Structure 1
Amino acid sequence: MLPEFTARGLRVSVIKHAHHGFDLDKPGKDSWRHREAGATQVLMLSSDRWVLMHELRGAPEPTLDEQLLLLEPCDLVLIEGYKAAAVPKLEIHRPSHGKPPLWPESPHVVAVASDVGAEELAPDCPLPVLPINEPARIAEFILDYLDAR
Protein backbone atom coordinates (compact mmCIF):
# COMPACT_ATOMS: atom_id res chain seq x y z
CA MET A 1 0.00 0.00 0.00
CA LEU A 2 2.86 2.40 0.69
CA PRO A 3 4.00 2.61 -2.96
CA GLU A 4 0.38 3.21 -3.98
CA PHE A 5 -0.03 6.16 -1.62
CA THR A 6 3.41 7.68 -2.20
CA ALA A 7 2.91 7.49 -5.98
CA ARG A 8 -0.11 9.75 -5.40
CA GLY A 9 2.16 12.30 -3.71
CA LEU A 10 1.09 11.53 -0.15
CA ARG A 11 3.46 11.64 2.82
CA VAL A 12 2.80 8.45 4.76
CA SER A 13 3.95 7.37 8.20
CA VAL A 14 3.52 3.94 9.79
CA ILE A 15 3.02 2.77 13.36
CA LYS A 16 3.53 -0.96 13.84
CA HIS A 17 2.72 -2.49 17.20
CA ALA A 18 4.79 -5.54 18.11
CA HIS A 19 3.32 -8.01 20.60
CA HIS A 20 6.79 -9.20 21.51
CA GLY A 21 10.05 -7.51 22.29
CA PHE A 22 12.24 -6.36 19.44
CA ASP A 23 15.61 -4.72 19.02
CA LEU A 24 16.90 -2.72 16.09
CA ASP A 25 20.33 -2.53 17.65
CA LYS A 26 23.21 -5.01 17.71
CA PRO A 27 25.01 -6.21 20.83
CA GLY A 28 28.48 -4.72 21.09
CA LYS A 29 27.72 -1.53 19.12
CA ASP A 30 28.15 1.80 20.95
CA SER A 31 24.42 2.54 20.84
CA TRP A 32 23.66 -0.87 22.35
CA ARG A 33 26.24 -0.31 25.10
CA HIS A 34 24.71 3.10 25.88
CA ARG A 35 21.28 1.55 26.34
CA GLU A 36 22.70 -1.31 28.39
CA ALA A 37 24.44 1.26 30.60
CA GLY A 38 21.09 2.92 31.36
CA ALA A 39 20.41 5.56 28.71
CA THR A 40 16.69 6.21 28.31
CA GLN A 41 17.08 7.51 24.76
CA VAL A 42 19.69 6.94 22.08
CA LEU A 43 19.50 8.85 18.81
CA MET A 44 21.48 7.40 15.93
CA LEU A 45 21.86 9.26 12.68
CA SER A 46 23.66 9.24 9.38
CA SER A 47 23.35 11.18 6.14
CA ASP A 48 20.59 8.72 5.10
CA ARG A 49 18.36 8.35 8.18
CA TRP A 50 17.98 8.72 11.90
CA VAL A 51 16.30 6.66 14.57
CA LEU A 52 15.44 7.50 18.15
CA MET A 53 15.32 4.51 20.47
CA HIS A 54 13.51 5.02 23.75
CA GLU A 55 13.79 2.50 26.57
CA LEU A 56 10.62 2.31 28.66
CA ARG A 57 12.50 0.93 31.67
CA GLY A 58 9.26 -0.15 33.36
CA ALA A 59 7.19 2.87 32.30
CA PRO A 60 3.86 2.09 30.63
CA GLU A 61 3.74 1.65 26.88
CA PRO A 62 2.67 4.94 25.23
CA THR A 63 -0.90 5.04 23.99
CA LEU A 64 -1.65 5.21 20.30
CA ASP A 65 -2.59 8.89 20.69
CA GLU A 66 0.76 9.59 22.39
CA GLN A 67 2.59 7.81 19.58
CA LEU A 68 0.74 9.80 16.92
CA LEU A 69 1.98 13.01 18.57
CA LEU A 70 5.57 11.84 18.03
CA LEU A 71 5.18 11.71 14.24
CA GLU A 72 5.97 14.61 11.95
CA PRO A 73 3.07 16.07 10.00
CA CYS A 74 1.97 13.76 7.20
CA ASP A 75 -1.05 13.06 5.01
CA LEU A 76 -1.78 9.54 6.22
CA VAL A 77 -0.76 7.25 9.08
CA LEU A 78 -1.07 3.51 8.53
CA ILE A 79 -1.38 1.54 11.76
CA GLU A 80 -0.64 -2.16 12.02
CA GLY A 81 -1.89 -3.95 15.10
CA TYR A 82 -3.99 -2.22 17.75
CA LYS A 83 -6.98 -4.48 17.13
CA ALA A 84 -8.94 -2.94 20.03
CA ALA A 85 -8.18 0.73 19.25
CA ALA A 86 -11.12 2.91 18.27
CA VAL A 87 -9.75 3.83 14.85
CA PRO A 88 -11.13 2.86 11.43
CA LYS A 89 -9.69 -0.47 10.32
CA LEU A 90 -9.27 -2.30 7.07
CA GLU A 91 -9.19 -5.97 8.00
CA ILE A 92 -6.88 -8.19 5.98
CA HIS A 93 -8.51 -11.62 6.00
CA ARG A 94 -7.42 -14.79 4.25
CA PRO A 95 -9.81 -17.64 5.07
CA SER A 96 -7.11 -20.17 4.17
CA HIS A 97 -5.22 -19.12 7.33
CA GLY A 98 -8.01 -20.65 9.42
CA LYS A 99 -8.53 -17.66 11.72
CA PRO A 100 -11.96 -16.12 12.27
CA PRO A 101 -12.57 -12.64 10.87
CA LEU A 102 -12.52 -9.61 13.16
CA TRP A 103 -15.33 -7.67 11.50
CA PRO A 104 -18.27 -9.45 13.19
CA GLU A 105 -16.95 -8.44 16.63
CA SER A 106 -15.24 -5.11 15.88
CA PRO A 107 -17.32 -2.02 15.16
CA HIS A 108 -14.16 -0.28 13.93
CA VAL A 109 -13.63 -2.47 10.87
CA VAL A 110 -14.93 -0.46 7.90
CA ALA A 111 -13.92 -2.84 5.08
CA VAL A 112 -12.28 -6.21 4.48
CA ALA A 113 -9.50 -6.94 2.00
CA SER A 114 -9.46 -10.62 1.11
CA ASP A 115 -8.12 -13.12 -1.38
CA VAL A 116 -11.68 -14.45 -1.85
CA GLY A 117 -14.85 -12.69 -2.97
CA ALA A 118 -17.62 -11.44 -0.72
CA GLU A 119 -19.82 -14.52 -1.24
CA GLU A 120 -17.02 -16.91 -0.32
CA LEU A 121 -15.79 -14.73 2.56
CA ALA A 122 -19.19 -14.32 4.21
CA PRO A 123 -22.47 -13.78 2.38
CA ASP A 124 -23.75 -11.81 5.39
CA CYS A 125 -20.79 -9.39 5.56
CA PRO A 126 -22.28 -5.87 5.47
CA LEU A 127 -18.91 -4.27 4.74
CA PRO A 128 -17.18 -3.63 1.43
CA VAL A 129 -14.97 -6.60 0.48
CA LEU A 130 -11.94 -5.47 -1.52
CA PRO A 131 -9.58 -7.62 -3.60
CA ILE A 132 -6.39 -7.98 -1.57
CA ASN A 133 -4.21 -8.12 -4.72
CA GLU A 134 -5.48 -4.80 -6.08
CA PRO A 135 -3.77 -2.11 -3.98
CA ALA A 136 -5.04 0.71 -6.22
CA ARG A 137 -8.65 -0.21 -5.40
CA ILE A 138 -7.85 -0.49 -1.70
CA ALA A 139 -6.11 2.91 -1.77
CA GLU A 140 -9.12 4.45 -3.53
CA PHE A 141 -11.45 3.03 -0.87
CA ILE A 142 -9.27 4.37 1.97
CA LEU A 143 -8.96 7.84 0.46
CA ASP A 144 -12.69 7.99 -0.35
CA TYR A 145 -13.51 6.84 3.19
CA LEU A 146 -11.27 9.52 4.71
CA ASP A 147 -12.74 12.24 2.47
CA ALA A 148 -16.25 11.22 3.52
CA ARG A 149 -15.41 11.66 7.20
Structure 2
Amino acid sequence: MKFLGLLVLLILNSLVLTPNALALQPIIVSYAVQPVSHFNQQLRVAQAQHQPWADDPNKISNRYAGDKFTLVSTQANKDSILTYQVSEFSKQHPQMLLIISLKQDAKLWQVSSAQLAWKCSDGKHFGTDRCNIAEHEASTAP
Protein backbone atom coordinates (compact mmCIF):
# COMPACT_ATOMS: atom_id res chain seq x y z
CA MET A 1 0.00 0.00 0.00
CA LYS A 2 2.89 2.38 0.73
CA PHE A 3 4.26 1.68 -2.74
CA LEU A 4 0.95 2.72 -4.33
CA GLY A 5 0.89 5.91 -2.26
CA LEU A 6 4.44 6.76 -3.30
CA LEU A 7 3.61 6.07 -6.94
CA VAL A 8 0.59 8.40 -6.82
CA LEU A 9 2.69 11.08 -5.11
CA LEU A 10 5.41 10.75 -7.76
CA ILE A 11 2.85 11.11 -10.57
CA LEU A 12 1.24 14.16 -8.95
CA ASN A 13 4.65 15.80 -8.45
CA SER A 14 5.56 15.24 -12.08
CA LEU A 15 2.31 16.86 -13.17
CA VAL A 16 2.90 19.87 -10.91
CA LEU A 17 6.57 20.30 -11.77
CA THR A 18 6.30 19.86 -15.53
CA PRO A 19 4.68 22.86 -17.28
CA ASN A 20 3.86 20.81 -20.37
CA ALA A 21 2.10 18.19 -18.26
CA LEU A 22 -0.14 20.89 -16.85
CA ALA A 23 -1.01 21.98 -20.37
CA LEU A 24 -1.83 18.39 -21.28
CA GLN A 25 -3.71 17.61 -18.05
CA PRO A 26 -5.17 20.94 -16.93
CA ILE A 27 -7.25 21.30 -13.79
CA ILE A 28 -10.46 22.98 -14.89
CA VAL A 29 -12.93 24.15 -12.25
CA SER A 30 -15.27 26.15 -14.50
CA TYR A 31 -15.54 27.33 -18.08
CA ALA A 32 -17.46 29.74 -20.27
CA VAL A 33 -19.37 28.24 -23.19
CA GLN A 34 -18.41 29.84 -26.49
CA PRO A 35 -20.68 30.25 -29.55
CA VAL A 36 -20.14 27.79 -32.41
CA SER A 37 -23.09 28.20 -34.82
CA HIS A 38 -21.61 31.09 -36.84
CA PHE A 39 -18.29 29.26 -37.16
CA ASN A 40 -20.10 26.07 -38.25
CA GLN A 41 -21.84 28.05 -41.00
CA GLN A 42 -18.43 29.21 -42.27
CA LEU A 43 -17.15 25.65 -41.96
CA ARG A 44 -20.02 24.27 -44.08
CA VAL A 45 -19.26 26.84 -46.80
CA ALA A 46 -15.56 25.92 -46.71
CA GLN A 47 -16.45 22.22 -46.94
CA ALA A 48 -18.72 22.87 -49.92
CA GLN A 49 -15.82 24.73 -51.57
CA HIS A 50 -13.47 21.82 -50.72
CA GLN A 51 -11.06 24.04 -48.80
CA PRO A 52 -8.31 21.80 -47.33
CA TRP A 53 -8.54 23.10 -43.75
CA ALA A 54 -12.22 22.15 -43.57
CA ASP A 55 -11.48 18.40 -43.73
CA ASP A 56 -8.88 18.20 -40.95
CA PRO A 57 -10.17 18.44 -37.35
CA ASN A 58 -6.87 19.86 -36.06
CA LYS A 59 -6.91 22.59 -38.71
CA ILE A 60 -10.58 23.28 -37.94
CA SER A 61 -9.69 23.63 -34.25
CA ASN A 62 -6.78 25.94 -35.10
CA ARG A 63 -9.05 28.05 -37.30
CA TYR A 64 -11.66 28.37 -34.56
CA ALA A 65 -9.06 29.21 -31.90
CA GLY A 66 -7.14 31.77 -33.95
CA ASP A 67 -3.49 32.77 -34.08
CA LYS A 68 -3.03 33.48 -30.37
CA PHE A 69 -3.62 29.83 -29.42
CA THR A 70 -1.47 26.72 -29.85
CA LEU A 71 -2.83 23.20 -30.14
CA VAL A 72 -1.33 21.20 -27.26
CA SER A 73 -3.41 18.02 -27.17
CA THR A 74 -5.90 16.02 -29.20
CA GLN A 75 -8.05 13.17 -27.93
CA ALA A 76 -9.82 11.07 -30.54
CA ASN A 77 -12.92 8.95 -30.00
CA LYS A 78 -14.98 7.01 -32.53
CA ASP A 79 -16.62 9.92 -34.40
CA SER A 80 -15.44 12.83 -32.28
CA ILE A 81 -12.28 14.67 -31.36
CA LEU A 82 -11.50 16.86 -28.38
CA THR A 83 -8.74 19.46 -28.79
CA TYR A 84 -6.98 21.58 -26.19
CA GLN A 85 -5.68 24.97 -27.30
CA VAL A 86 -3.61 27.17 -24.97
CA SER A 87 -2.87 30.87 -25.40
CA GLU A 88 0.54 32.42 -24.91
CA PHE A 89 1.34 33.74 -21.47
CA SER A 90 1.41 37.54 -21.49
CA LYS A 91 1.65 40.44 -19.07
CA GLN A 92 -1.67 41.88 -20.22
CA HIS A 93 -3.84 38.74 -20.17
CA PRO A 94 -4.16 35.55 -18.18
CA GLN A 95 -3.30 32.30 -19.95
CA MET A 96 -6.39 30.88 -21.62
CA LEU A 97 -7.43 27.31 -22.37
CA LEU A 98 -9.90 26.60 -25.17
CA ILE A 99 -11.41 23.13 -25.33
CA ILE A 100 -13.05 22.38 -28.67
CA SER A 101 -15.20 19.33 -29.30
CA LEU A 102 -15.63 18.29 -32.93
CA LYS A 103 -17.90 15.57 -34.25
CA GLN A 104 -18.08 13.91 -37.63
CA ASP A 105 -21.36 13.25 -39.39
CA ALA A 106 -21.54 11.92 -42.95
CA LYS A 107 -17.76 12.45 -43.28
CA LEU A 108 -18.10 16.17 -42.49
CA TRP A 109 -16.75 17.73 -39.30
CA GLN A 110 -18.50 20.35 -37.21
CA VAL A 111 -17.73 22.01 -33.90
CA SER A 112 -20.18 20.65 -31.36
CA SER A 113 -18.98 22.79 -28.45
CA ALA A 114 -16.23 25.14 -27.29
CA GLN A 115 -15.36 26.05 -23.72
CA LEU A 116 -13.01 28.77 -22.55
CA ALA A 117 -11.24 28.96 -19.18
CA TRP A 118 -8.28 31.01 -17.99
CA LYS A 119 -5.66 30.92 -15.28
CA CYS A 120 -4.75 34.02 -13.30
CA SER A 121 -1.05 34.62 -12.69
CA ASP A 122 -1.24 33.24 -9.14
CA GLY A 123 -3.74 30.53 -10.05
CA LYS A 124 -3.29 26.79 -9.85
CA HIS A 125 -6.25 25.94 -12.08
CA PHE A 126 -8.18 27.11 -15.12
CA GLY A 127 -11.60 28.61 -14.47
CA THR A 128 -13.73 31.69 -14.88
CA ASP A 129 -12.44 33.55 -11.81
CA ARG A 130 -11.90 37.28 -12.16
CA CYS A 131 -8.23 38.12 -12.47
CA ASN A 132 -6.74 41.31 -11.10
CA ILE A 133 -4.84 42.52 -14.18
CA ALA A 134 -2.69 44.95 -12.12
CA GLU A 135 -1.55 42.03 -9.93
CA HIS A 136 -1.07 39.89 -13.04
CA GLU A 137 1.17 42.53 -14.64
CA ALA A 138 3.14 42.99 -11.40
CA SER A 139 3.72 39.25 -10.89
CA THR A 140 4.92 38.74 -14.47
CA ALA A 141 7.29 41.74 -14.52
CA PRO A 142 11.00 40.87 -14.90
Normalising by the residue count of structure 1, what TM-score does the alignment of the two structures yield?
0.27
Q: Hey, which of these two has a bigger chunk of strand by percent?
A: 2
Q: Hey, which of these two has a bigger chunk of helix by percent?
A: 2
Report which of the two structures shows the higher radius of gyration computed on alpha carbons.
1
